[in-house]
Each structure stands twice: as structure tokens, then as C-alpha cells.
Amino acid sequence: MSAQPTDPPRTADGALLGGAHPVRKTSRRMADGREIVYYDDSEPYLSGATPREAVDTRPLPPAEDVVRGGAQVRYDPLTGEWIAMASHRNDRTFMPPADEDPLAPTVPGKFPTEIAEPDYDVVVFENRFPSFSTRIGGEPGLVDGEELWPVRPAAGRTEVICFSPEHAGSFGSLPPHRARTVIEAWVDRTRELSRVEGVEHVFIFENRGKEIGVTLPHPHGQIYAFPFIPPRAARMLEMARKHRDATGRNLLRDVLDAERRAGSRIVATSEHWTAYVPAASRWPVEVHLAPHRDVPDLPALDDAEKADLAQIYLDVLGRLDRYFPGDDPLPYISGWHQAPVHQDRDLMRLHLQVFSVLRAPGKLKYLAGVESAMAAWINDTTPERVAARLREVG
């Protein structure tokens, strides 16, 4: 992996993406040199009649200075995993008041935000406090000169994706048209980040709720371009390789087919997608959403699959919000499992995992002794009961 900073390649400025769902992509630079990309599906921006020309005038230090000497990955010889060290993230924004929302559009005469424009549809920008960055210099080495502990720069990229200019909400509060635009942004970011030197895995996710540890209520997600294959993905690839060696088949394909045959844990189906509670789910509430066609990642989806995804994913999130009685939205983590950028792409099959740490209204599933110390999971319910409830609230 190169330790030199790189400027990731990107689609030409002003390009139209999305095929049947046109989206205009416009790339700009922020005051500190970070990239910001607008994905517009509405006028006057979609046609280009009004260009994105707002200038970020904040007196920010160069982005390179924020991460210099503060981001690295260290190897844990006991687990074979890389652990990111990002001490500069302690200074990130925490639950600001609505009039100081850093993800809101910048209104003239008021608090300047990360987005210089007075309005936007969907926007993606480099995280100001990244866990991984192309701007990190340095060379691989050893902690304390010990061969047990290799260390290297945390090269990669960490991005924020804002689903809406509204101060509060989540993906589930979007109308289908805007959800489709977010999907196009996910596709484009996966494609672009996969071209960045040193990136091995692209993970797109959304955290929702204070119980998850969310520090900003603004509807947004994140995108991590890892310089390694993260542990859960690596373990899934290992199991998929063993399954293929034993059967000649794809493990994730077989899982989907088995869930559809059983039917007892199916939550919802559409022409191109199936949502189900996995037979061995570990979280109190957990749903997987998988395409019917074998595809490795989001860029491999066709227009019909993306349009269908916008509808069924909103349906699933709506069911999750109605899972428990009451008006409090369900806290959740939602993440896309995609094939690695360079290796074992034939082993992984695209799917979404969304789960909650809430085991009952007002009661969290704490990862205590056996879960945290030994990674031995104990579920407080059964997948069949969860699936039945999600069908009931549909």
C-alpha cells in the first residue's frame, strides 16, 4: 500500500449519472482542501441552469494538518486484525444546537457550515475528522521497534453523505425519489473510492439514534474506504471460501435460497429483493436485504434493481420503526456488505444488514461479558418471532 497522499479520480464535473433516474454530480473544494460532491435531482441544479458555485470562506487549517501524525493502523497479533488509531477524532462536533448544525446548508448571514451552498439535494464530502485519509504521510514501521506490532499510515478515505438538508431525520424519512438519489450517490462513491490507491474495501453505513452513539441528528450516513479488509468481511469471505470448496456454490446465494424456501423469517419481498431475519441472527432486531440476482456490489445493480431497492428499503425501515409500540424511532445501524475491491469478489454477494441494540422499549442489549470479551453472542428472542412481528406491522 502506498503511503503517499493521492487525489482520488472522479467523474467529470457536471456529469449526469443514474440512467433512468438522472442525477447531476458536481465536485467542488472546501476551504481546507477537502472534496465536496453534490448529487442533484431537482431543478434548477439538475439541468445545470444554476451551477454549484458557492465558495467556502471559513478560516480552516489545511486538511493535511488535521490528520498529520494522528492516524495510523496497528496490527494486533492476537487476532490478526488491524486497529485504527485516530486521536484527532476526539475534537469532532458533538450534538450541536439546530442553528449550529454543521451538515445544514449555509444560510447567508448565519452560522457557516460544511456545505457552502444555500440548499442541496444530496451531498457527500470528506470527513473533517477522518479515521482514514489519503493525506496521511509516513512509512510503515514497528511500534517500539517490536516485530510483533507492525504499524502503517491509515491511508484510505472517510466520507459523510447527507441525505437531506433538513436538520433531523434519517434515510427512512426520505421520499422514494430522494432515496433513489442517495442510492445513486452510494453507487458512485463505491465506484470512485474503489479507484483510490490502497483502498481494499468500501463500507457504506448509517447510524441512527443516541443509543447507537450518534453525535449529529442530521439525516446522514458515512462511507469508509478501508486500506484493509475489515474483520467481519474477512471472516465472511473465509466461510464463503470453505463453502465453495465443499459444495462448489456461493454461500450467500445458498443462504438467500434457503431463507426463501423456509419462508418463516421472510419480512418482505419485491420483484428484485427479499428482506429476511437471518436464522442465526445475533441482534434483538435484525434484518438482511438481498437482491435476487447475484451481484458483488452496488455499482453492479441495474436501474430496475435500484428503483426497487428505494421502495423496499423504505418499507423495511418503516416496519422497524413500528416494531415496538410508541412513537420513539428505533435506533439502528445499517450497513452494506459489498465485495472487496481487489480480491475474492466472486465469494461475496451484495446485501444490506440493519439491526438494533434495543431489545425492548427503553431496554438496550448491552454487549457485556461473553459478547464483548469472547464474541459469543446470546440473543434474547428468536428470529421467527422478530420476522412475525415485522410482517404484522407491515
Give yes or no for residue 238 having a pLDDT over 90. Answer: yes
- Which domains does the chain show, CATH number per domain? 15-228 (3.30.428.10), 233-392 (3.30.428.10)
pLDDT tens track for 19-72: 899 999 999 999 999 999 999 999 999 999 999 999 999 999 999 888 776 688
C-alpha 86/C-alpha 73 separation (Å) is 9
Q: Look at residue 305 in the predicted model and tell me its pLDDT.
A: 98
Decide: 224 and 202 in contact? Cβ < 8 Å.
yes
Q: Look at residue 3 in the predicted model and tell me its pLDDT.
A: 34
Confidence band, pLDDT 50/70/90 cuts, at residue 5: very low
Q: Look at residue 170 in the predicted model and tell me its pLDDT.
A: 93
Sign of the Cα pseudo-torsion (355, 98, 112, 26, in order): positive
Within 176-219, strands assigned E span 201-208
Give yes or no for residue 345 having a pLDDT over 70. Answer: yes
Q: Look at residue 6 in the predicted model and tell me its pLDDT.
A: 39
The pTM for the full model equals: 0.92
Angle, helices 303-321 vs 383-392, to 10°: value is: 100
Q: How far is CA 124 from CA 119, 284, 320, 330, in A?
A: 14, 31, 26, 25
Decide: 91 and 153 in contact? Cβ < 8 Å.
no
pLDDT tens track for 359-373: 888 888 887 888 888
> What is the arithmetic mean of pLDDT over 148-176?
94
Mean confidence (pLDDT) of the chain: 91
> What is the arithmetic mean of pLDDT over 150-155?
92
pLDDT tens track for 270-301: 999 999 999 999 999 999 999 999 999 999 99
Decide: 46 and 26 in contact? Cβ < 8 Å.
no
Burial class, 297, CB count within 10 angstroms (exposed 0-12 / middle 13-18 / buried 19+) = buried
Specify the amino acid at residue 303.
Answer: D
Q: Look at residue 4 in the predicted model and tell me its pLDDT.
A: 34
Q: How far is CA 52 from CA 14, 23, 26, 94, 112, in A?
A: 9, 14, 7, 29, 16
> Hey, which residues are catalytic here?
220
Give yes or no for residue 2 having a pLDDT over 70. Answer: no
Higher pLDDT, 322 or 89: 322
Decide: 320 and 330 in contact? Cβ < 8 Å.
yes
Confidence band, pLDDT 50/70/90 cuts, at residue 90: low
**127 alpha carbon, distance to own chain's centre:** 13
Helix and strand totals (H; E) in the chain: 7, 18
Give yes or no for residue 16 having a pLDDT over 80. Answer: yes
